[in-house]
Structures are given as structure tokens and as C-alpha cells.
């Protein structure tokens, strides 16, 4: 698939030019450019490339076909859900490590959502995002613990509002490197996307940072490590991991947010972060609270510490 730039089209930015020519979004075009899948005069270009008359832009048609094909989620009964509570409105699961909550644009076939579609097909129409039916909040792929899932639209709106207004109680257990400077504290540091792919970072409001509040209490001290109870009052992506790493106390086993200065290492292939308590008011106004014990792998780590 080739495009030849005319005299009238000169000085346009490459990403804007292609957005006007193709049935895809500007962000999708930018990803293709950054991946080197779009060439200008047979050479890789940048998103900010400004076009000249007679420039030839080349794209493999299969990339555009992949972006424009209809996205459909498939039920996957192989994804087993550990359900600890269920009624007509909600499902509470205890998520295991290594499982995505919902598919990305790549339509991964073995996410929590794929398992939900097999378990409860009616959930397909619940929510406000076709790739996230029933999902009102999420846990990172490697993080374990409690998650609330909605079985109908009325419940989805009810719990979505509670999450948005910070009325859901969310407590985690985390093991961090080093000794915290205070046994109890509240971290108030705004967070936004980092320049590094797939990461978040502490940034000022002027830099686009959004309000993020994390409270913690040290519940046990070990040599070189502290076990924390962490409560998040906001729900930013990677919030706990980013905040603790910024304080120079990264979470044990976190490969994305780690520091070279950390000398004491433990044999753990996932972040020591577990969603332990989830509390909220149901549709009748009654408070419900659920608790989850640490997975065996994390308990084993604690028993090895002194």
C-alpha cells in the first residue's frame, strides 16, 4: 500500500497525513511508525516527519487490516476463576498471578474476561468497554487477590460510581526493600505516564500528574525488608508500585519498578503485592467486606526471612 504526496499535501506531519487517508486512529498510526512499519522513501521515519512533494509512503496492508478487523472476545473455559462470593449482581474472585484482567488490542485469549465469558455469557453486554465486560477495576497481571466483577449493567453503574468517588475500601499487603522511615504515613504524589514504555512515574500536576494517595502501615520488620499494609485512596495505574519505588523502597520481586542499589534479593518472580481486603456498600446499602490470605508462594518468602 503506497501513497504519493502531492504539492498540496506538503508540510503535513506523517501521522496526521495518514490519519486522513486510512480508517484508523492517529495513535494507531503512531504505533506503526514507531515500530518501523511505515516507510517514507523506503526508509524508517519518525512520527514528527514533515512530508515533501513526491514522497512515497509505504505500508504493508496487513497492518491496516489487523487494526480494522472487528474485535471479538472468545469464551475460554480453560481460564479457571477462583470465586469466593457470588450473587445476582456481582462476583468476587481471588485472582492468581500471571493472568491479565482483560485483553489489550492484541486480543489475548486467556484473560479473566475470557474466563468470565465462558462462566457467565450474559456478562458480554455489561459495562462501557467491549473488551472489558463486567470489569469496574483491575489488578496488574502479576498481582494477586480480590477483584469485584459486575453481572449486570445496573450493578456496573452502582459500583463504578463507588470506585470513582473513592468509597471502596482497598487494602493490599506488600513486602518492600529496606526499612521505611516512618511506621505509618500517607504518600501524596501525583502520577502520570512515564517516558519509558509501559511505566508510570511521579510527576507534578504541571507535567500532567494526577492526584494519587497511598497510606501504609509497617506490620512486620525483617532484616533489610518491611512488610506493609497498604491502602489506596485513589486508583492510578501501578500506584502502589510507583509510590513505594519513588521512596526508594521498591516492592520485592517487581521487575518493572526496581533499583540497582538494592543488594538483598529474594527468589521471587512476581511483585510481592496482594489485594487482601475489599469492602463496599452493596445495592441495598449494606456494607460487605471480603478478605484473602496471602498465596503460598508469598507466605514461603516470609517464612524464609528473619
Q: What is the pLDDT of residue 27?
A: 82
Beta carbons of 252 and 271 less than 8 angstroms apart: yes
- The catalytic site residues sit at 140
Tell me, what's the pLDDT at 67? Answer: 74
pLDDT classification of 25: cutoffs 50, 70, 90? confident
How do residues 124-171 score in pLDDT, each as one tens digit? Answer: 999 988 889 999 999 999 999 999 999 999 999 999 999 999 999 999
Topology match between the domains 2-68 and 166-306: no
Grouping H, G, I as helix, E, B as strand and the rest as coil, residue 217 is strand
Contacts of 32 (CB under 8 A, 6+ apart): 38, 59, 63
Q: Which three cell numbers stand for residue 232?
A: 489506596
What is the pLDDT averaged over residues 5-19? Answer: 90
Residue 40: pLDDT over 70: yes
Q: What is the CATH number of domain 2-68?
A: 3.10.290.10
Query: 71-165, which class in CATH?
Result: alpha beta
State the pLDDT confidence band at 68, using cuts at 50, 70 and 90. low
Name the architecture of domain 166-306.
2-Layer Sandwich (3.30)
Sketch the domain layout of the chain as residue ranges.
2-68, 71-165, 166-306
Amino acid at each position: 500500500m503506497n501513497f504519493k504526496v502531492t504539492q498540496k499535501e506538503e508540510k503535513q506531519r506523517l501521522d496526521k497525513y495518514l490519519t486522513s487517508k486510512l480508517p484508523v486512529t492517529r495513535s494507531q498510526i503512531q504505533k506503526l511508525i514507531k515500530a518501523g512499519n511505515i516507510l517514507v522513501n523506503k526508509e524508517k521515519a519518525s512520527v514528527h516527519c514533515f512530508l515533501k512533494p513526491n514522497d512515497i509512503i509505504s505500508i504493508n496492508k496487513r497492518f491496516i487490516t489487523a487494526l480494522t478487523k472487528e474485535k471479538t472476545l472468545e469464551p475460554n473455559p480453560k481460564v479457571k476463576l477462583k470465586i469466593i462470593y457470588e450473587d445476582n449482581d456481582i462476583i468476587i474472585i481471588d485472582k492468581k498471578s500471571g493472568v491479565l484482567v482483560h485483553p489489550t488490542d492484541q486480543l489475548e485469549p486467556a484473560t479473566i474476561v475470557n474466563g468470565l465469558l465462558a462462566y457467565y455469557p450474559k456478562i458480554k453486554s455489561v459495562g462501557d468497554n467491549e473488551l472489558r465486560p463486567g470489569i469496574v477495576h483491575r489488578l496488574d497481571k502479576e498481582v494477586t487477590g480480590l477483584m469485584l466483577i459486575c453481572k449486570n449493567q445496573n450493578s456496573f453503574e452502582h459500583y463504578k460510581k463507588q470506585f470513582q468517588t473513592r468509597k471502596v475500601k482497598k487494602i493490599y499487603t506488600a513486602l518492600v526493600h529496606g526499612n521505611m522511615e516512618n511506621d505509618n504515613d500517607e504518600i501524596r504524589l501525583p502520577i502520570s505516564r512515564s517516558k519509558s514504555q509501559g511505566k508510570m512515574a511521579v510527576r507534578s500536576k504541571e507535567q500532567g500528574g494526577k492526584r494519587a494517595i497511598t497510606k501504609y502501615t509497617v506490620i512486620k520488620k525483617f532484616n533489610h525488608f518491611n512488610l506493609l499494609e497498604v491502602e489506596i485512596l485513589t486508583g492510578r495505574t501501578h500506584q502502589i508500585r510507583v509510590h513505594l519505588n519513588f521512596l526508594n523502597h521498591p516492592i520485592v520481586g517487581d521487575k518493572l519498578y526496581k533499583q540497582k542499589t538494592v543488594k538483598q534479593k529474594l527468589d521471587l518472580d512476581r511483585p510481592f503485592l496482594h489485594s487482601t481486603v475489599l469492602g463496599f456498600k452493596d445495592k441495598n446499602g449494606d456494607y460487605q467486606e471480603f478478605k484473602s490470605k496471602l498465596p503460598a508462594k508469598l507466605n514461603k518468602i516470609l517464612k524464609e526471612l528473619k
